[in-house]
Every structure is written in C-alpha cells, then in structure tokens.
Amino acid sequence: MRTLPVLLLLTACSSGSLITEPFTIEVDRSTGALSIEHNDLGPLLTNLTVSVGTGSADIQSSFGSFRFDNISLDVVTATQATFRNSRLATQLITLQDDDGNDLADIVLEVVPIGPTTALTIGITPTSPGNRVVVTADCTDDDHFLGLGSHAQDVDHVGEAFPLFVSEPGVGKTFDDDSPDDWFIRGTRHASSYPVPFFVRPHANHGVLLQTQGRVEMDLCHSDADRFSATVWDDGPADIVLFADPDPVRILQAHAAWVGRPELPPPWAFAPWNDAIRGSDNVLGVAQTLRDAGAVSSVIWTEDWKGGRLTDNGYRVSGEWTVDRELYPDPEGIAQTLNDQGFRWFGYFAPYVREGTVAWDEALAADAVTVDADGNVLTFSGPSFETEAYLDLTSDAGQTFALTRMQAATDVGFDGWMADFGEWLPIDAVLGDGSTGLAAHNRYPGQWQAINVEALEDQDATFFARSGFGGAQGNAPIIWGGDQRTDFQADDGLPTVLSLGLGASVSGVPVFTHDVAGYNSVGNPSSTQELWFRWAWLGAFSPILRTHHGAFADDNHQFDTTPETLEHWVRVTQEHTRLFPYRYAMAARASSQGIPMILPIGFRYDADVARNDAWLLGDSLLIAPITQEGATSRQVDLPSDVQWFDWWTDEPVSSGVFGAEPDQIPVFAASGTLIPLLVSIPDSLDSGLPQGVTGLDDVDGEREVRIYGDGAEFTEADGTTYTPSGTATESGQVTERLSNGTLEVGGVTLTIEGFVERTYTVRVITD
C-alpha cells in the first residue's frame, strides 16, 4: 500500500527550477511546461504539458464490447505557470491559459515507496470539464511496456488505443480500428485487464495514471516526437512517477503503491483440471488422473450450478446455487475429492439471469443496477439471454453475492473462477450515485474485492480475468481470458506470451491461462498438437490449468488419446517438480512485488520488447514453439550470461533448437540456483488420507541445481541457500541436514532451514 508522503522543501529558483531530492523540476513560466529530471538518472519526462476541457462521444455497447464514435475534444492547453507557495513543504503550481485564466493546480510530492522513490504530480482542474490531457516528449528508441494484458503486444510504442475494460472479443483485428462486427471481434488492444501504467526502461521510469476513467493513449503515434494520455475524468488526474534504472524495482514500487494480493496456498501451485456434466464425470476425471499418475490438486467444475449445450457451446446456468439434479450430493463429491487429494472449485459471475431463482431473489432485494428511471437495467448476456448486473456499490448487491458464496463454501467448495466484470452497462445507475460509464473500470476491482471478502481467512483461493488500475491487490490469480483454440497470431496460442508478460509488467503477480484455449467460433477446435504445445507452456507458467473450451465435445482434452494422457502426466510432474522454485517466486511476488514471470530484458541483456519467450522467475527462460507444424525455432539467448539446456545440462548459446510437440525449449541461466522436488506427489495438499501422497510426504527431499557459481535463493518456507566460491567442475553430492554446508565442484553451499531434508546438490558448469 502507499506510504505516507515525505514532503520535502521545494525551492523556487530564479531559473524556474524546483529542487526536491532526488528530483529537479524545470518549470517554463512562459509556456507552462514541466521537465522532470532525476539527479542521478537524468531526464525522465520532458516538456510535460497539461490541457483541460471537455469531450463527448457516442457510445454503443453489445455483448460486453463498447464502440466509441464521434469522439470530440475541446481543451485548452496551459501556456503559463505561476508558483503559488514556493516555500511550503508541498509545492503548488497554477497553470493558466493565454489570458491568465486558471486551468489546473499542480502539486508535487516526493514519496519513498518500495525500493525506490516516487514523485507524485497531482493535477486538479480548476476550470469546468471532463477531460485532462497530458503530453510529453518521446525519446529515441522509446518503449512503453505494460498498460495491461494485451494479446499482441507488450511494448506499445507507435500505437494509439484506449484503456477501457471490455470483453476482449472472439478473435482480434491486427489494428485498433473498430471492425464492422465490433460486438463479436475485438481490436488489437481490446482487453479485459487494461491498466494505466507503463514502464519506459530506457528512460529509467514508470508512469501510473491514477484514474478510473477511460484513458486514450497515443504513444508516439500521431506525433513521433510526443506521447499523450487523455483522461476521461472530471476530478484529479494524478501521475505517479517511479524512477529507477532497474525496471524490476519499478515494478516493485508500483506494486507497493497499488497493493499486492495474498499469497495463494501451496496446493494451488499443483495442476488444476476441469470436469463438468455431472457427478459421475467429475469423479471419473479425478479417478482417471490418479490412475494415470498425473499430479492434480484442484478439480474445477464450472457447471456446478447447472449447464446446457447450446448453439454457442456449452453454457453454465444463471443460478447462484448448486444444481442438485446434476450434482445430487455435492457435499459427498467434495468429501470424495478431498479424500483423493483434490480441492473442488466452482464458478461465479456478477450477474443474474431472467427466469432463474437468482433473478427473482436479486430483484426482490434491489441488488441489481437500474437505469435513469429506476427500472432494472438488462442486457443480452453471453448465452444470449436477458441478464442484469449486480450493484456491488450497494449493501444489497454485496450481501446477495457474499451469502451465496458462503453457501458454496459450506457445500465444500475451496474456491472458484470469478468470471466477467467487463460488461457493466454504461447507462447503469448504481447505488452510490455513480453512472455505469464512471463506474465501469472500477467494477472489476469491486467484483474481485467481494471474492476476497468471501474467502477471507479460509484455506481457499479464486482466479479472475478482468481488472483495471488499482485492482492488482485483490485477486490472487489472474488468467488471460478466452483465447482461440488454435495457433492463430491474433488471439491463439502465440498471444499467451504477450498477455502474461503485459499482465505481469502491469502489476499482476500470478498469471495463468486455459491450456488449448477456449473459443472455437471462426476457428478450428483444438488438436493434439496444439494441446501438447500449450500444455508445455502451462508447465512453465505460474499456474497450470485445463479448461474444456466452449465446444468441449469437439476439443482435444487431456484424456482424448492415450498419448495425450501420457503427455499430461509428464507435464504435470515437471510442473510439480519445480514447486519449490515456483512457490518461492510466488512468495516473493506477494511480499516484494516481483511478478512470477518477467520480460527477459528486465533481468538480462535482451530486447525489452520481446514477446516470444518469458522468464519464469529469474533463472528459467521459456521459449515455446507456437507455430503449427513447426518442430524447431530460433532462440536468442542473452549473451551477458552462460545458458544451459534445461533438459541436458549442456551449455548453449543462441541458435535454432529443435523440439517435437512433446518437447519445449527451456534454458537455465548461469549464476542462479533452482531447488526442485525429488519425488513427485499426487497433490500439493497436505495431511491427505493414506494412499494419496501430498506435499508433506515429499517435502523431505530436494535436488538443488547450481548453475555456475549460483546465487542466494530463499524458499517460501524460509529455507535459504547461499553458495560461495567458484565453480570449477560439474559435480554432485547428497547429504541429510537442516542446517549446514555442502561442498561440490568448487562451490560451498550453506543451507539454513527449519526442515531436515536429504539434499542432492548438483553444480553445473561449462
């Protein structure tokens, strides 16, 4: 969370400079432009201008998508600056137009946050309006990373697009022009999780726009020399500037500012499997997994409250309680699954459907949004039926959701998917007096917060897909939405990398995705090749999770063929073998704000804009093959460290690497250390019945891989590994201890822990 600001004395110099360590702000009194420089890092934002005024647009909405036409903008740009109280702790600058009329007050504050220091630039319009426009200079070789989870980009330089929570669409265009079928197909940057925050690594800073309004970004697109943000807000449009030469430290500062979610329980970091269509099938999937030797800690039953097959695929019921015809004994299912080492997940979405018991109860309680005349506001939902959105600003709406979520946990559910949040109609009127347009981007965070409250102090978790700035501290897990069930570059397998990296740079600590995608409208259903490729990417993701897809009967599933089931077993075991490493990264994300996946260029000498691979933690570079039919790919490995093939331990450098569909290129960096499980359990839950192995059954052994000289590493349970010395040769040693030292290959490894384990330490050198 944001700490209280440290307000330092700002001195107005005759030159128009404001000095507040470690920043210097040059104010051009004759133009109203600000230039901000860091005393150690150099220029950050130069020629920052502010405009204030009004705007309007014609807005259409359908199926959670929104089209903005006839956008108008009438603003006045500040051309003068006046210091109002240059010797007070908080510096106030008033911006004025050519005639000397006040436009906006600027308040500057220095705030220590996380590992660095931020400068807040508070912009409060003093003239009527609903738009604030901020512009600044672009630089040579500029980059703008983040801005939420987007399917085709991590770096958005040269592009112009809005940040507005929406249904991402079924498939996407390759530009940001609204297509004729805008209510079905998304644009390049249509996103369920846009975030008004970006990192400019080459300029040593990140920028957060503190607003819940729509933001129009123009990133050196209309003018190659300038970038701008147009904020749809009639209140303050504050900017938070995080300055640091290390982009990871910028991410940490941003996470400290907006908040970090709770660490999910250990069992959430074993694979999840979905199972639907009744008790027999759910229990059958669970038994198939155990008989095959696949690791799984979660069975996810999306249709726990009912479902039916439609022309638009298999769709879940609009009820909010368990369907006791489809699942006659849900309490018994939960207990049976628990006895087999599974947690049971359900599904919730923040709307009610006409013709259901939930509809009648919600309307009777005044728990839904209304229109300007006070009538229930309805829309056509995902199943083409009439829906109404819960009013989560009202006690009635919150109570409706919380009581039914509590009833689900009473049945035995340990979590769920918290779906949607994007569809709030813009003409809605909410209980707090806000309109749907003003509340639209806030709504996903409110939906997440209700789920957090429902599961507070329980051994449970949930995952969500929608959000905006400030929501990052709520949901413990975010997934990338409904990708195509194919290899298409617009919205298929290749886009998972951009979606995950963009989410991570924007403050999402734990990311997941649907193995083999979800949507099969306008594209083929999933194949075995796609399933194999996608599952391997899932293995080296924070959370590995299957989803049947909209057309479950047509899609390839984990047990469609014996080969696929065998592949799934291998994938789940490799994912679980990495648990000590992955859970340490999850704990670090929760406590320090470093997301589990990172752009390669944030740690090593590589192009920061790369979206063909990602880092899992600091050590592992994951380079999946995402083209149909391909059995090799070029992998560019950063040259500032030595890399090792994860599967063979051989030292490697950039080149073409072969990988059949049942393989994936993965590389470990020299100067790192990775702890692994030796024995693979059935589940990562603990205290399981006899015959089912859990985390406590395998926690007494570790394989510790030290690449080169290694680096200090701390597991989530506090076990710390500290290598010293210089690796002279590859080698291996095994010893049982809780605290002590081991020597191998010229490296001395000091282990400080609380659990006695058998450690097999391997030093890997070139």
Q: What is the pLDDT of residues 320-369, one digit of tens each?
A: 999 999 999 999 999 999 999 999 999 999 999 999 999 999 999 999 99
Q: Region 269-293: what's the mean pLDDT?
A: 98
What does each C-alpha distance from 604 to 14, 193, 615, 620, 633 come to in angstroms? Answer: 43, 27, 10, 12, 20
Encode 711-759 in three state secondary structure. Answer: CCEECCCCCEEEEEECCCCCEEEEEEEEEEEEEECCEEEEEEEEEEEEE
- What the block records as the tokens of 525 is 């259903």
- Residue 85 has a pLDDT of 60
pLDDT band of 15, cuts 50, 70, 90: very low
**Residue reference for tokens 């912009």:** 123
Nearest Cα residue to 739 out of 723, 714, 719: 719
Nearest Cα residue to 679 out of 751, 757, 568: 757
Average pLDDT, the chain: 95
**pLDDT higher than threshold 50 for residue 139:** yes
> Which ranges in 488-527 belong to alpha helices (H)?
495-505
Backbone angles phi, psi at 405, to 5 degrees: -70, -40
Q: Answer for the pair 71, 233: CB distance below 8 angstroms, yes or no.
A: no
**pLDDT higher than threshold 50 for residue 5:** no
**pLDDT higher than threshold 90 for residue 632:** yes
Helix (H) or strand (E) holding 96: strand 91-96
Q: Is 316 helix (H, G, I), strand (E, B) or coil?
A: strand
**pLDDT higher than threshold 70 for residue 144:** yes
Q: Are strands 102-113 and 23-27 parallel, antiparallel or unpaired?
A: unpaired
CATH for the 11-161+197-257 domain, from 2.40.30, 1.10.3470, 3.30.70, 2.70.98: 2.70.98
Instruction: Tally Cβ neighbours within 10 Å of residue 559.
Output: 16
**pLDDT higher than threshold 80 for residue 289:** yes
How many residues are present in the chain? Answer: 766
CA distance 687 to 670: 37
- Residue 698 has a pLDDT of 98
- Residue 634 has a pLDDT of 98
**pLDDT higher than threshold 60 for residue 747:** yes
**pLDDT higher than threshold 70 for residue 534:** yes
pTM equals 0.96
pLDDT band of 90, cuts 50, 70, 90: low
- Residue 313 has a pLDDT of 82
88 or 679, greater pLDDT: 679
- Residue 13 has a pLDDT of 43
Helix (H) or strand (E) holding 208: strand 205-210
Q: Answer for the pair 155, 219: CB distance below 8 angstroms, yes or no.
A: no
389 or 16, greater pLDDT: 389
pLDDT band of 4, cuts 50, 70, 90: very low
Instruction: Tally Cβ neighbours within 10 Å of residue 324.
Output: 11
Q: Answer for the pair 245, 201: CB distance below 8 angstroms, yes or no.
A: no
* Percent of all residues in the chain with a pLDDT value above 70, rounded to a whole number: 97
Q: Are strands 131-137 and 42-62 parallel, antiparallel or unpaired?
A: antiparallel
Q: Region 579-588: what's the mean pLDDT?
A: 98
